[in-house]
Structure 1
Amino acid sequence: MSTQEILNSVGQFSANDVLLFEEHTIRKSFHKNDVLLHLGEICQSVYFILSGSFFQFQFNNMTETIIDLHLPQEWMFNHPSLINQVPSDTTIKAFEKSDVLELSLINLHGLIARSQSFLSLAKIFDQTNNRTYLFDNALNPIQKYNYIKNAKPLIVQVFPVKMIASYLKIAPETLSRVRANH
């Protein structure tokens, strides 16, 4: 995916805007299980996933609870930590070898100061809608699975049942039954 395509997914950008964006982002690579954001660290950047996948989790009673699953061609960050500049209550870890573009908040503000077009990047901060919809509506396991398959179809191809079930807050056995009946 080209830089122009990445930016076009959130707004209209000139060729000069694309060059500015490229100057203000850093390409980073992660190996499986590398940590992108540690528990307690304040999130200072947003990341566009070029390849690979990540998972965001919390530890509860020695169990990893999946908070979010991140796939290629989507923006990723810890929303509460980034927006409120407070320590993260989750960890973000690479599920597989992955490449990202990192845009720090400082560089984002610099881009906005140089071109008002970058105000449209605010759309990336509204990504909590998937989680909000899943958990603010009393969806049964079949509805949750159907919703996530439509919202993020690659999830079922990339992540194991146990991780998807944790994300959907249902038992892995329940998810296996739902998938078997599909």
Structure 2
Amino acid sequence: MTAIQRLKNILEEDGILSKTIMIERDQFLKKENTINTNLYFVLQGSLRVFFMNEYEEHILYFGYKKSLITALDSFFSAKSSILQIQAIKKTRVIYISKIDFMTYMSKNPENLQLWHEILEELIQLQIEREIDLHIKSPLERYQRILDRRPELFQEIPHKYIASYLRMAPETLSRIKKS
């Protein structure tokens, strides 16, 4: 069981993780230039976290079943963020506010250790993402993400994965066929 799943189970067992939202396909959980400090656990469906730069969108990461998703910058700073969170498919999430979460976590050193594990994992994923962005070969970028997160290809439509990998959908299709 992943650290994220262990955290979700602890929060549910103690009754502080009980608010759910159903998000329709293409609906926004967070729009740009808003503040959202909630932590969301994805129960079903999938979402993408992205921002727009002029006419191009940049996908930073995805959320899908058994994952945790938030606008990290807004969560940590409690400030407005350009990040958007949008449902790719009809999605159901369970969530907790940052205030409730931090209050609960600070009461138990074991919970804080678990939170630190999750943060370390998120940082490691961001480092891997940074490395991916600097690799010139589309084939190598594809192979790295396939090795690291094969479930992504079952949960996320290929057009979004292509955008995440900074390649055209046709390029991803050619690579997958070879």
Pairing 1:155–2:152 present: yes
Q: 1:114 to 1:68 in 2, by over 3 A?
A: same
Select which of 46, 58, 82 maps to 2:75: 82
Gaps of 5+ in 2: none
Q: TM-score, normalised by structure 2?
A: 0.82
CA–CA distance in structure 2, aligned partners of residues 94 and 110 of structure 1: 29
Q: Is the 1:161–1:172 Cα contact (8 Å) retained in structure 2?
A: yes
Q: Is the 1:58–1:64 Cα contact (8 Å) retained in structure 2?
A: yes
CA–CA distance in structure 2, aligned partners of residues 8 and 34 of structure 1: 24
Select which of 120, 127, 150 maps to 1:132: 127
RMSD across aligned positions (CA): 2.5
What is the letter of the counterpart of residue 108 of structure 1? F
What is the letter of the counterpart of residue 80 of structure 2? P
Q: What is the deviation of 1:106?
A: 0.7
Q: What's 1:122 paired with?
A: 116
CA–CA distance in structure 2, aligned partners of residues 28 and 6 of structure 1: 23
Q: Size of the alignment, in residue pairs? A: 173
Q: What is the deviation of 1:121?
A: 2.2
Q: TM-score, normalised by structure 1?
A: 0.81
Q: What's 2:25 paired with?
A: 32
Q: What is the deviation of 1:101?
A: 1.4
CA–CA distance in structure 2, aligned partners of residues 112 and 173 of structure 1: 45
What is the letter of the counterpart of residue 172 of structure 2? L
CA–CA distance in structure 2, aligned partners of residues 114 and 134 of structure 1: 33
CA–CA distance in structure 2, aligned partners of residues 56 and 148 of structure 1: 17
Pairing 1:104–2:97 present: yes
Gaps of 5+ in 1: none
CA–CA distance in structure 2, aligned partners of residues 7 and 135 of structure 1: 23
Identical counterparts, % of pairs = 23
Q: Is the 1:134–1:144 Cα contact (8 Å) retained in structure 2?
A: no
Secondary structure of the 2:33 match is coil
What is the letter of the counterpart of residue 74 of structure 2? S
Q: What is the deviation of 1:128?
A: 4.2
